[in-house]
Amino acid sequence: MNKPIYVSILLVAVSLGLMLTLQYRTTSSVEQGVAYGREQELTVEKLQLEKELAHLLDESTDLSAKLEEAGKGYSEAAVAFESELSKIKLYAGLVPVEGPGVEVVLENLPDSTPDRSPKLISIKDYDLLHVVNELRGAGAEAIAINNQRLLATSEIRLAGNHIVVNMVNISAPYRVIAIGNATTLKSSLVIKGGPAEILNERGIAVNVTIKEKILIPAFTGGLRFDYATTT
């Protein structure tokens, strides 16, 4: 009768001690972990952060859409730059162009009179300059002499028996081609007192022909700006 009582007392005592100490240890270990109230606090914070995250994700998609649009704008700008660049190249004479215009061929007349020395009748640089100047004054948009495209920096100068254009020696016959309003160009040359007449008087044949389509090559030399910089 007494035996089971002692067994049960022992069992109960052991389990009670076990429970109490386990509980004690768990409670004292809690301080290293997370307090109970803190858990709820953190849960609330987490919810808040999740809300915030969703909000930020929304914002992110919005911004990336905007960025994409901006990228589109950028490519449009690139296209605009491209067209601007080609336009500027066209103005600068770095691309071949074609269009209506005139062809002017200047040639020394054959020596009919022996008393005229070839030097006298030979075409000089200023003759070409005169022609080119008149063409420019008549609105020529592109000019080339013997396929040397004239740029803003091109020179036409006499060097010995040759004329140098774009650092290239050219010699007679000189073929000046210009694109522009053909009739205006031609009349500017053949007008009374114009370069054609003056040159003719000096024994130089000036042959101006209107052409429907003239191909003027691009400038082929190198461009260097050592001193000038943009401001």
Q: How far is the CB of 48 from another protein (least distance, A)?
A: 21
Token pair, residue 187, equals 């009349």
Q: Parallel, antiparallel, or unpaired: how do β-strands 204-216 and 97-108 relate?
A: antiparallel
- 32 vs 231 by CB, closer to another protein: 32
What does R_g of the chain's alpha carbons equal in angstroms? 46
Are the C-beta atoms of 167 and 88 separated by less than 8 Å? no
Q: How far is the CB of 47 from another protein (least distance, A)?
A: 16
Token pair, residue 160, equals 């010995």
- 4 vs 193 by CB, closer to another protein: 4
List residues bridging with 205 in a β-sheet: 107
Q: How far is the CB of 51 from another protein (least distance, A)?
A: 22
- Give the Cβ contact number of residue 153 at 10 Å: 13
Q: How far is the CB of 38 from another protein (least distance, A)?
A: 11
Sequence length of the chain is 231
Q: Parallel, antiparallel, or unpaired: how do β-strands 204-216 and 174-179 relate?
A: unpaired
Are the C-beta atoms of 138 and 183 separated by less than 8 Å? no
Q: How far is the CB of 74 from another protein (least distance, A)?
A: 55
Are the C-beta atoms of 104 and 190 separated by less than 8 Å? no
- 15 vs 61 by CB, closer to another protein: 15
Q: How far is the CB of 10 from another protein (least distance, A)?
A: 4
- 6 vs 227 by CB, closer to another protein: 6
Q: How far is the CB of 1 from another protein (least distance, A)?
A: 9
Label residue 30 left, alpha or beta by phi (over 0 means left) and psi (-120 to 50 means alpha).
Answer: alpha
SS3 177: strand
- 16 vs 54 by CB, closer to another protein: 16
- 42 vs 67 by CB, closer to another protein: 42
Which alpha helices (H) appear in 93-177, and where do they start and end?
118-121, 125-137
- 8 vs 48 by CB, closer to another protein: 8
Name the site residues for another protein (rule: CB under 8 A): 4-6, 8-27, 29-30, 33-34, 36
